[in-house]
Amino acid sequence: MFKAVVSIRLRPSILDPQGKAVMHALSNLGFGAIAEARIGKLIELSVEADSAEEARSVATSACEKLLANPVMEDFEIDVEALEPAV
Amino acid sequence: MFKAVVSIRLRPSILDPQGKAVMHALSNLGFGAIAEARIGKLIELSVEADSAEEARSVATSACEKLLANPVMEDFEIDVEALEPAV
Under an 8 A CB cutoff, do A35 and B1 touch?
yes
Chain B residues near residue A47 by CB distance under 8 angstroms: 33-35
What pLDDT is recorded for position A35? 95
What contacts B41, CB < 8 A, 6 or more positions away?
A39, A40, A41, A42, B6, B7, B8, B67
| pLDDT tens figures, A28-42 | 999 999 999 999 999
Architecture of domain B2-81: 2-Layer Sandwich (3.30)
Under an 8 A CB cutoff, do A34 and B47 touch?
yes
Domains of chain A by residue range:
2-81
- pLDDT tier at B83, thresholds 50, 70, 90: confident
| pLDDT tens figures, B16-52 | 999 999 999 999 999 999 999 999 999 999 999 999 9
Residue of A1, A8, A29, A45 to mutate for B, most B C-beta atoms under 10 A: A45
Under an 8 A CB cutoff, do B7 and A42 touch?
yes
Q: How many Å apart are CA B5 and CA A70, to the nearest integer?
A: 22
Position A82 pLDDT exceeds 90? no
What pLDDT is recorded for position B86? 53
Pairing of strands A2-10, A34-47: antiparallel
A to B CB pairs, distance under 8 Å: 98
